[in-house]
Amino acid sequence: MHLTVNGTPSAIDGKETLSVTALLAELKVKDALYVTVELNGEILARSAFDSVQVKDGDKLEFLYFMGGGR
């Protein structure tokens, strides 16, 4: 399966589809509990990570929103 992750081509061998949760684990995404996932231009609800399937050609962005300030 070939994907574009954060603008970089990526390949997952031996898989035709993966759930978003499985993909985060496969790619060893740091702080996966805090990541927001955009799939093909659409922000996914965290509750959908187990059911939404990523497939060949998809484009993903992993986003982290940080609070802070003064």
Cβ atoms of 44 and 61 within 8 Å: the answer is no
What is the tens place of the pLDDT at every residue in 14-32? 989 999 999 999 999 988 8
Write the DSSP symbol of residue 16.
S
- Contact by Cβ (8 Å): 27, 35: no
Give the per-residue pLDDT at 57.
Answer: 97
Question: Does 9 score more than 80 pLDDT?
Answer: yes
CA distance between the termini of the chain: 44
Whether the pLDDT of residue 70 is over 90: the answer is no
